[in-house]
Structure 1
Amino acid sequence: MRISQLEGRRVALWGWGREGRAAYQAIRSRLPELALTLFCSPEEAVEGRGLHDPRLAIETAASAERLSAFDWVIKSPGISPYRAEALAAAEQGTRFIGGTALWFGEDIGGRTICVTGTKGKSTTTSLLAHLLRAGGHRTALVGNIGVPLLEVLEPSPPPEFWAIELSSYQTGDVGMGGARPDVAIALNIYPEHLDWHGSQARYVEDKLRLLTQGKPRIAVLNANDPVLSALQLPDSRIHWFGDEAGWHLRGDVLWRGDREIMDTASLPLPGRHNRGNLCAVLTAIEALGIDAAPLAPHAASFKPLPNRLQPIGARDGIAYVNDSISTTPHATLAALECYAGRRIALLVGGHDRGVEWRGFAEAMRQQAPLAIVTMGENGPRIHELLAPVAAQAGFHLGAAKDLADAMTQAREALGGEGGEGGVVLMSPGAPSFGPYRDYVARGRHFAELAGFDPDSISAIAGLGIS
């Protein structure tokens, strides 16, 4: 689907976040006279009217009746196509598409490497760009990581490689764009975003659409993930990482087949899962026809991403770690593993989208921290599951009304044993929606409450093309 094919059609934009604004600018750059309707919130409508675009109509209620009046609706990723009004409009013939699909339809040039997975995709995509650049390759770091694809519609010159992060909200768009990715990396599949997808089965199906419908020329898959290891992809060549024939870890040591490459223990990649994702990156680089082994040591100069197991400093003997991007219980368990052996006060909870926490509660019988403080919309549900476990395992369990209260309780729990050497770890295992716009805002507030400058911990290095 090319942007030019929207000419003469009835077209609407649904959503006015960064992706929505990028879609508007991209369409206007190609089709300046196309009539558009924007569906957005009342607050966003004020900004939209400030454009003074006579060909832009703005409405604040996206009903099924109104959506069905359009041939195409360019939808922002956060808006689920499974909402009742979207499904009803689709039955009337309205087609929904995202900015990712429009970008892929333009065939801009350069080789595309798409990265998805329930956890680790941002670090993996950024590390991929870092190593390619270290090898002298002009590379774009774009997508869900912070630069919508439609913001880089006409690069001059195009990069040699595109490192593209895709969320489960975007993976289905790739097949709709008409162009096949050169490489698609799938890291892992755990239950997430069930409120958007409607069920765990649909989440898995949507996540895998990058592979099943996008039909990449090469699929780089995690040999240790049960969902991915069972995949059959007749249209793609599969390169596995995490098995002994390819790139894998033995303890902390990185191997390529039977060749020892380097020790990864000192790399700035927090958590064994992130060092494992280095194997995914090197497998993808190798699949592109590049000798990956000489690039592996450049991982030592990688700058860790904010909000991802990010140490932000220490105050009064307590270290603060910001893992705000953690939106699943699996991610929280991985965070705890990184700090095993430390005195941890863990903050969990946030927006409730129906993800099951029973497995996490059971895990706390064996690997509980010193204290857990629940918070957010699903905090009471998590607290109820943890209460009998805490009584048996002997860890402190608190319930907080908000993040500030949770921080206070965490400090008190650590201070009960002197405070020195403790870690306040915010790894919520849930989205930030409600009190915060996104996980970045939640991470910034965490930094402020800990007594640090939020601006100093928020920037992602290397975004864009270089």
Structure 2
Amino acid sequence: MRISQLEGKRVALWGWGREGRAAYQTIRSRLPALPLTLFCNKEEAEEATALADPLLTIHREATAESLSAQQVVVKSPGISPYSAAALAASANGTLFIGGSTLWFDEHAGADGIAARTLCVTGTKGKSTTTALLAHLLRAGGHRTALVGNIGMPLLEVLDPQPAPEFWAIELSSYQTLDVAAAEVGPEVALVLNIFPEHLDWHGSEARYIADKLALVTQAGPKIAILNAADARLASLQLAEIEVHWFNHAKGWHLRGDDVYRGDAFVFDATRTPLPGRHNRGNLCAVLATIEALGLDAAVLAAHAESFRPLPNRLQALGERDGILYVNDSISTTPHATLAALECFHGQPIAVLVGGHDRGVDWSDFAEAMKRDAPEAIVTMGANGPRIHELLAPLAAEGKFKLEAAGDLESAVGQARRLLGDTGVILLSPGAPSFGVYKDYVARGRHFAAIAGFDPDTISAIPGIGIS
């Protein structure tokens, strides 16, 4: 749907975070006389009221009846379309779209593709992969936008001048359906991996997987870049899409820590600041994407050495009294926590796990702890008791030390005591931060402050925007 097609319709915004504000500013700039309705919480309502927009009607609750009164609802990504109110309104004819839908349709090409759009998704690693993709393209002299879920909504950069040559766009599972709802598709869709996550938003594991894969099964990309080592991705049958595989012996893959293209050695990935084997594997995904664009990926590979890692993603904050503090606050699945532990294998580790409870199964994590556990695990958050109960029998066998904490500050203090005078305190919660913190960034900032580091210096995302 083009923004101009909203003219004359009953249009509402649902949510007033950064995405919601971007949608408001964009629609209002194009359609200044269009009446708008806003559904948001009390604090957001106070901020929106301060705009003094006589054509903006504000409601603090979105009900099935009030949503059904709208023809189009531009929904912020964090709001699930599977809520009872949204489903009822959809059944009554209300169309729910996201800001990403509007952006893609504003960039429609004659071939039904939004040119030079490179969309990246996956359960883990998508932010670093998108940033690395932008970094290598810029190193090759290409003006590139780093936008999307990474921290800059697409509608904030609807029509920049001069336009970038490439758009590196991170998409969460909340946004892949928005792109699929657009009338045009991305030029390239990169899917890194699929693990169960965000089950509270999607409603089930099956729906989460289907929604995540919508980027390649429904959005109609010209090219799909897929992980051959992921069983779900490897089994996909995609018609009329050009597919390139990474983590495959014939394409870009790792042998140990070395990057190969087929049988040709290209690059020693240990020369990069990318933490962990999974991030080095995602370098192969980036190189496969660059190659699919017709560029010389082997030449650009060496520029990965100058990449600056992103905050809150296996971010080494520094040492205090012999303890290394690592901020992996963005970790929201048990699989991400396992990957983080692997990065510090062989060192004494106290890992802090737990947060918002979405009903995700931690049994695979517990099984992994039977084989290779850190020195200590401290549980916290709403799902902390459930994780603690699952791990308690293993702790009783002496596999690791296990304690429960009431909050993050207590968890850090207990981890210090359990480690003694050396080791790694790793914040890798394997769960979202909702209920205690605004988001994973706020959680990471609090962790940094507790550890004695300046939160402001660790929070900036390098390279975001267009350059």
Equivalent-residue separation in structure 1 for 2:319 and 2:271 (angstroms)? 20
The structural deviation recorded for 1:267 is 1.1
Structure 1 match to 2:456:
455
1:352 counterpart (344, 353, 357): 357
Does structure 2 conserve the Cα–Cα contact (< 8 Å) formed by 1:365 and 1:393?
A: no
The structural deviation recorded for 1:175 is 2.2
The structural deviation recorded for 1:92 is 0.6
Equivalent-residue separation in structure 2 for 1:185 and 1:100 (angstroms)? 17
Structure 2 match to 1:431:
432
Alignment of 1:9-48 (within 5 A): 9-48=9-48
Does structure 2 conserve the Cα–Cα contact (< 8 Å) formed by 1:216 and 1:235?
A: no
1:218 counterpart (198, 214, 223): 223
Work out whether 1:290 is the aligned partner of 2:302.
Answer: no
The structural deviation recorded for 1:163 is 0.1
Does structure 1 conserve the Cα–Cα contact (< 8 Å) formed by 2:14 and 2:39?
A: yes
TM-score using structure 1 length: 0.98
Does structure 2 conserve the Cα–Cα contact (< 8 Å) formed by 1:368 and 1:393?
A: no
Alignment of 1:267-278 (within 5 A): 267-278=272-283
Structure 1 match to 2:137:
132
Letter in 1 for 2:193: N
Secondary structure of 1:182 counterpart? strand
Structure 2 match to 1:323:
328
The structural deviation recorded for 1:27 is 0.2
Work out whether 1:172 is the aligned partner of 2:177.
Answer: yes
Alignment of 1:30-429 (within 5 A): 30-107=30-107, 110-415=115-420, 419-420=421-422, 422-429=423-430
Equivalent-residue separation in structure 1 for 2:331 and 2:220 (angstroms)? 29
Secondary structure of 1:432 counterpart? coil
The structural deviation recorded for 1:229 is 0.3
Does structure 2 conserve the Cα–Cα contact (< 8 Å) formed by 1:114 and 1:165?
A: yes
Equivalent-residue separation in structure 1 for 2:356 and 2:243 (angstroms)? 36
Q: Deviations over 1:187-215 (max 9, x none)?
A: 00000000000000000000000001111
Cα RMSD over matched residues? Answer: 0.8
Aligned residue pairs: how many? 462
Secondary structure of 1:177 counterpart? coil
Letter in 1 for 2:312: N
Equivalent-residue separation in structure 2 for 1:314 and 1:238 (angstroms)? 44
The structural deviation recorded for 1:233 is 0.9
Structure 1 match to 2:111:
none
Secondary structure of 2:374 counterpart? coil
Letter in 1 for 2:85: E
Q: Deviations over 1:4-32 (max 9, x none)?
A: 00000000000000000000001011100
Equivalent-residue separation in structure 1 for 2:216 and 2:429 (angstroms)? 29
The structural deviation recorded for 1:404 is 0.5
Does structure 2 conserve the Cα–Cα contact (< 8 Å) formed by 1:185 and 1:284?
A: yes
Equivalent-residue separation in structure 2 for 1:354 and 1:23 (angstroms)? 32
Q: Deviations over 1:367-419 (max 9, x none)?
A: 1100000000000000000000111243110000000010010000011xxx1
Does structure 1 conserve the Cα–Cα contact (< 8 Å) formed by 2:332 and 2:429?
A: yes
Does structure 2 conserve the Cα–Cα contact (< 8 Å) formed by 1:110 and 1:158?
A: no
Structure 2 portions without partners, runs of 5+? 109-113
Letter in 2 for 1:233: L
Does structure 1 conserve the Cα–Cα contact (< 8 Å) formed by 2:184 and 2:220?
A: no
Secondary structure of 1:168 counterpart? coil
Secondary structure of 1:428 counterpart? coil
Does structure 2 conserve the Cα–Cα contact (< 8 Å) formed by 1:362 and 1:389?
A: no
Equivalent-residue separation in structure 1 for 2:227 and 2:281 (angstroms)? 9
Does structure 2 conserve the Cα–Cα contact (< 8 Å) formed by 1:372 and 1:397?
A: yes
Equivalent-residue separation in structure 2 for 1:100 and 1:126 (angstroms)? 19
Equivalent-residue separation in structure 1 for 2:240 and 2:40 (angstroms)? 39
Equivalent-residue separation in structure 2 for 1:235 and 1:8 (angstroms)? 37
Equivalent-residue separation in structure 2 for 1:394 and 1:258 (angstroms)? 41
Does structure 2 conserve the Cα–Cα contact (< 8 Å) formed by 1:38 and 1:57?
A: yes
Letter in 2 for 1:227: R
Equivalent-residue separation in structure 2 for 1:79 and 1:110 (angstroms)? 28
Letter in 1 for 2:426: L
Structure 1 portions without partners, runs of 5+? none
Q: Deviations over 1:284-341 (max 9, x none)?
A: 0000010110000000000000000000011000000000000000000000000000
Does structure 1 conserve the Cα–Cα contact (< 8 Å) formed by 2:115 and 2:186?
A: no
Does structure 2 conserve the Cα–Cα contact (< 8 Å) formed by 1:102 and 1:177?
A: yes
Letter in 2 for 1:113: L
The structural deviation recorded for 1:110 is 4.7
Equivalent-residue separation in structure 2 for 1:350 and 1:393 (angstroms)? 25
Letter in 2 for 1:347: L
Equivalent-residue separation in structure 2 for 1:326 and 1:232 (angstroms)? 30
Equivalent-residue separation in structure 1 for 2:87 and 2:408 (angstroms)? 36
Does structure 1 conserve the Cα–Cα contact (< 8 Å) formed by 2:188 and 2:225?
A: yes
TM-score using structure 2 length: 0.98
Equivalent-residue separation in structure 2 for 1:265 and 1:365 (angstroms)? 29
Structure 1 match to 2:2:
2
Letter in 2 for 1:7: E
Letter in 2 for 1:429: G
The structural deviation recorded for 1:266 is 2.8
Equivalent-residue separation in structure 1 for 2:398 and 2:274 (angstroms)? 31
Secondary structure of 1:181 counterpart? strand
Letter in 1 for 2:12: A
